[in-house]
Structure 1
Amino acid sequence: MRDKKRIVVKIGSSLLTDQVRLTPRWGFMQYVLEDIARLREAGHEVVLCSSGAVALGMRMVGVTPDSAGLRDKQAAAACGMPLLLDAYKHIGHQHELQIAQILVTLGDFEHHARFLNTKNTVDRLLASGVLPIINENDTITTEQIRVGDNDRLAAKVAQMIQAQHLVILTGVDGLYDRNPSEPGAKLVETVHDVSQYLTVTEGVSTLGSGGMLTKLQAANMAQNAGCHTLIANGEGEAPISAALTGRRRCTTCVAHAEPLTSWATWLTNRLQMAGSIVITQAAAEAVERGERGIDRHDVHSIAGSYAKGDVIHVYDEKGVERARGMTDFGSEETAILVRNQEVPVKALLGYQSRGVLIESTNLIVLDDRHLQWERQPEPA
């Protein structure tokens, strides 16, 4: 860890919050910010992705993790966010840390212009020596428009700022080859292909929205961008640097030696599926060979509602996801073009176009490094 690095640290609600009293765990936060201060003194740039607002606000709203509905959680987030930031500010002041808060939603990652605006803000804060603390804006998000877990949110941040390390602090030492409570369970110290371990990742913490599955999904996203992911126990002193320097046992998901470009990374690593199309086998083979994009004559069916500029998932007729790409037509226009393939585009839509749904430059063919999404239900 001699060279200066960008490091994204993710900590969840179960570490930040006393699960009974729903109050901040001050000792844990002290260790984390003290460690971040040391890393910054060594020349590293650190971004913190922090959960905790919803849990800290539940007592004020009068609900518990088991009873809270969506509106309760939104209100709890509004109450808990000032408490969380006040705790960070109070402890950060002891270590001469200036902090800033960035609240994001799904669209800030999925829409390219907003993605770049968010990146510019984080870059500017880092250049000013300020510690960005990023969290999803839970006060306004719903199930349909939320990231859903801060593991993958942190991975998107790591991709966005081209970080070298993503450190996910959790309540266990890392990924085990089976349920850690089972006799003989062994810690997996190095992972190259996360897909080999997806079947042993069931389970979600009481306060958190993710389990080990979302951590491996996050690791895969980071790997594709050339970022190593460390999944480590967050308890005790120097939890971040101890994992980074090998003084603490953890799971390291190794970055790909040849990472994708920033554009390809943004296109392929999605947080939600906007929609999908099924193309013919012949078209799928041509796309995989890099011969061309996708036009309306290639499409067999459409699923989901999406807009021009959204990234959609491309399946072949066997249900295998072959590519992801940014579409030049929304789902309604696409449906019109596909159902009337012999009619000129201008006659159908009122403007001239070649009818290419996804240009080859906006289309990325998936390979073994990507976790595939399960096929969406067939349209009615």
Structure 2
Amino acid sequence: MAEKRNIVIKIGSALLANQDLLTPRFGFLQRLMEDVTRLRSQGYEVILCSSGSVALGLRIVGETPETAGVSDKQAAAACGMPLLLNAYKQVGHEFGIEIAQVLLTLGDFEDHRRFLNTRNTVHRLLEAGVVPIINENDSITTEEIRVGDNDRLAAKVAQMVGAKDLIILTGVDGLYDRNPDDSEAQFVPEVTDVSEYMAATQGKSTLGTGGMATKLQAANMAQEAGCTTWIAQGEVDRPLSTVLSGERRSTKVHANPNPLSGWDSWIANRLQMAGSLVVSDRALSCLPETKVPITRADIVSMDGDFTRGDVLHIYDKHGVERARGLSDFTSEEIRVLTNNPDTDADQLLGYRTKGEIIRGANLVPLETRHLLWDAPAAIA
């Protein structure tokens, strides 16, 4: 039997929920799960990242996509999740597929211990022949602590499980070099550098939270972890296998041939910014060939309140992001260290330490292949 190969499938809300009735689209689910069965028979381990719970719950709480606020969407997610899972369960039963629900929050990706625990759960489900259906826990998340879109959530899941393939099913057949409504828009079949197309990706769907921009951000996260991404229309027969076989057109975002290690990928691919540093030219002069520790003497300025173990975004004096790294100190401890440069770090903090803000082993230089983050206004 062929070696098992993990594949992550992201399904948008507009495919799963009828836009007018806000009810499950069983016809689409039938085609999807039939194709999941086909992939499993070919040796794929399938993980679904499914939107739809908020859309399916809006009618129950008496709201529409246009009128719903944050608390309305949280309540709708709580109402819609049983409907979504029941629909998957009903259709999956026809094909002998067992499903499991995995609800995640931002912290499950950004905290490394929780990241590993989540990965172990997903792997155990796959070992048991169960299809994990993963979604953000929208009933409890707020804007400050949410992943924000299931495109990037799917990319983080792909990174987590070491997937080689990520298929993002959506309402269009892929990426265009400008708004597809433009008569001169050209379809883009293959992408290596997603940054070339970010300006052409504004807008989002009525039911979903992400547009083409989030799909390219997700593809960039995936390609840096060695995963190829396809962006494709979901409203077809065999929506998955025809993409992988090349039978219909889609946009293929190539995996980087030299992917980051699992540790470096976890550090480099962030969903939110915990904090940031502007550092001296000395600390950045050796990058990317050599990683040198960042010390308090290198820090020009700092932004954010963070804790030990958070990943910081590292900028040069011109506001260009150059690296990301794991902080050995809280933001308050760093302030104490930088405000007292002539006092021994052990004496200031009350415990023995080398005083390295970010160790060289925990620093990941960002090359041109990464999408960079703008510096916060406080340090730009």
Q: Does TM-score exceed 0.5, indicating one fold?
A: yes
Task: Between 143-152 and 283-292, report the one with greater CA deviation.
Answer: 283-292
Distance, in Å, in 2 between the alignment partners of 1:94 and 1:61 is 31
- Match of residue 266 from structure 1: 266
- Match of residue 311 from structure 2: 311
Q: Which runs of 5+ in 1 are unaligned?
A: none
Deviation at 1:291, TM superposition (A): 4.8
Classify the secondary structure of the residue corresponding to 1:61.
coil
- Residue 278 of structure 2 contacts residue 379 of structure 2 at CA under 8 Å; is this kept in 1? no
- Residue 303 of structure 1 contacts residue 377 of structure 1 at CA under 8 Å; is this kept in 2? no
- Residue 277 of structure 1 contacts residue 299 of structure 1 at CA under 8 Å; is this kept in 2? yes
Task: Give the partner amino acid of 1:338.
Answer: T
TM-score, length-scaled by structure 2: 0.98
Deviation at 1:4, TM superposition (A): 4.2
- Match of residue 300 from structure 2: 300
Classify the secondary structure of the residue corresponding to 2:58.
helix
Distance, in Å, in 2 between the alignment partners of 1:19 and 1:333 is 51
- Match of residue 342 from structure 1: 342
Distance, in Å, in 2 between the alignment partners of 1:170 and 1:289 is 39
Q: Percent identity, aligned pairs only? A: 58
Distance, in Å, in 2 between the alignment partners of 1:257 and 1:180 is 30
Deviation at 1:350, TM superposition (A): 1.5
Task: Between 178-187 and 164-173, report the one with greater CA deviation.
Answer: 178-187
- Match of residue 30 from structure 2: 30
Q: Deviations over 1:79-102 (max 9, x none)?
A: 000000000000000010000000
Q: Deviations over 1:16-55 (max 9, x none)?
A: 1111111111101111111001111222110000000001
- Match of residue 148 from structure 1: 148
Distance, in Å, in 1 between the alignment partners of 2:317 and 2:286 is 14
- Match of residue 14 from structure 2: 14
Distance, in Å, in 2 between the alignment partners of 1:42 and 1:294 is 48
Distance, in Å, in 1 between the alignment partners of 2:42 and 2:245 is 13
What does 1:273-284 align with in structure 2 at a 5 Å threshold? 273-284=273-284
Task: Give the partner amino acid of 1:315.
Answer: Y
- Match of residue 173 from structure 1: 173
- Residue 287 of structure 1 contacts residue 294 of structure 1 at CA under 8 Å; is this kept in 2? no
- Match of residue 187 from structure 1: 187
- Residue 287 of structure 1 contacts residue 293 of structure 1 at CA under 8 Å; is this kept in 2? no
Distance, in Å, in 2 between the alignment partners of 1:247 and 1:3 is 23
Task: Give the partner amino acid of 2:7.
Answer: I
Classify the secondary structure of the residue corresponding to 1:60.
coil
- Residue 288 of structure 1 contacts residue 322 of structure 1 at CA under 8 Å; is this kept in 2? no
- Residue 291 of structure 2 contacts residue 361 of structure 2 at CA under 8 Å; is this kept in 1? no
Deviation at 1:5, TM superposition (A): 2.1
- Match of residue 39 from structure 1: 39
Q: Deviations over 1:177-232 (max 9, x none)?
A: 11111102121000000000000000011110100000000000110011100000
What does 1:246-261 align with in structure 2 at a 5 Å threshold? 246-261=246-261
Distance, in Å, in 1 between the alignment partners of 2:322 and 2:339 is 23
Deviation at 1:312, TM superposition (A): 0.6
- Match of residue 70 from structure 2: 70
Distance, in Å, in 2 between the alignment partners of 1:287 and 1:181 is 43
Distance, in Å, in 1 between the alignment partners of 2:135 and 2:10 is 10
Does 1:123 pair with 2:160? no
Task: Give the partner amino acid of 2:56.
Answer: L
- Match of residue 333 from structure 1: 333
Distance, in Å, in 1 between the alignment partners of 2:294 and 2:359 is 7
- Residue 5 of structure 2 contacts residue 164 of structure 2 at CA under 8 Å; is this kept in 1? yes
Distance, in Å, in 2 between the alignment partners of 1:60 and 1:222 is 36
Q: Which runs of 5+ in 2 are unaligned?
A: none
- Match of residue 223 from structure 1: 223
Distance, in Å, in 2 between the alignment partners of 1:283 and 1:115 is 29
Deviation at 1:282, TM superposition (A): 2.1
Deviation at 1:286, TM superposition (A): 3.6
Deviation at 1:283, TM superposition (A): 1.9
What does 1:35-114 align with in structure 2 at a 5 Å threshold? 35-114=35-114
Does 1:373 pair with 2:373? yes
What does 1:209-220 align with in structure 2 at a 5 Å threshold? 209-220=209-220
Deviation at 1:248, TM superposition (A): 1.3
Classify the secondary structure of the residue corresponding to 2:285.
helix
Distance, in Å, in 2 between the alignment partners of 1:234 and 1:291 is 43
Task: Give the partner amino acid of 2:308.
Answer: K
Classify the secondary structure of the residue corresponding to 1:117.
helix
TM-score, length-scaled by structure 1: 0.98
Q: Deviations over 1:149-170 (max 9, x none)?
A: 0000000000111111000000
- Residue 155 of structure 1 contacts residue 222 of structure 1 at CA under 8 Å; is this kept in 2? yes
Distance, in Å, in 1 between the alignment partners of 2:179 and 2:313 is 32
How many residue pairs are counted as aligned between the two chains? 379
CA root-mean-square deviation: 1.2
Q: Deviations over 1:66-89 (max 9, x none)?
A: 111111111000000000000000
Q: Deviations over 1:244-284 (max 9, x none)?
A: 10011000000011111101100100000100010012222
Task: Give the partner amino acid of 1:170.
Answer: T
Distance, in Å, in 2 between the alignment partners of 1:39 and 1:270 is 30
